[in-house]
Chain A
Amino acid sequence: MMAGMTVIVRTISRLLFPFLFLFGIYIVVHGHLTPGGGFQGGVALAAAVLMLLLAYGMEGAQAKVNALQAELAESLGGLILVFLGLMGIIVSIAFFKNVLPFGSLGQVLSAGNLPVFNLVVGIKVATGLLTIFYAMLRIQGGEE
Chain B
Amino acid sequence: MRQAAALILVLAIGALLVFTVSAYLLPYGTFPERRIGGFEGESIGKRILQDAPKTTGSANVVTSIVWDYRGYDTLGEATILFTAVCGVAMLFRVTRRRS
Contacts and interface: CB of A to CB of B under 8 A. Distances in A.
A114 B64 contact: yes
A31 interface: yes
B60 A32 contact: yes
B60 A33 contact: yes
A106 B59 CA distance: 6
Contacts of A124: 78, 81-82
Nearest to B57: A102
Contacts of A56: none
Interface stretch (B6-14, B22-30, B34-42, B87-95): B87-95
Interface in A23-53: 31-35, 37, 39
Which secondary structure dominates chain B's binding surface?
helix
B75 A82 contact: yes
A118 B62 CA distance: 12
Interface residues of B, number: 30
Size bracket of the A interface: 35 or more
B67 interface: yes
Contacts of A132: 84-85, 88-89
A85 B56 CA distance: 15
B99 interface: yes
B24 to A, nearest CB: 31
Interface in A96-144: 96, 98, 102-103, 105-106, 110-114, 117-118, 121, 124-125, 128-129, 131-132, 135-136, 138-139, 142-143
Interface of B: 53, 56-60, 62-64, 66-68, 71-72, 74-75, 77-79, 81-82, 84-85, 88-89, 92-93, 95-96, 99
Interface of A: 31-35, 37, 39, 71, 74-75, 78, 81-82, 85, 95-96, 98, 102-103, 105-106, 110-114, 117-118, 121, 124-125, 128-129, 131-132, 135-136, 138-139, 142-143
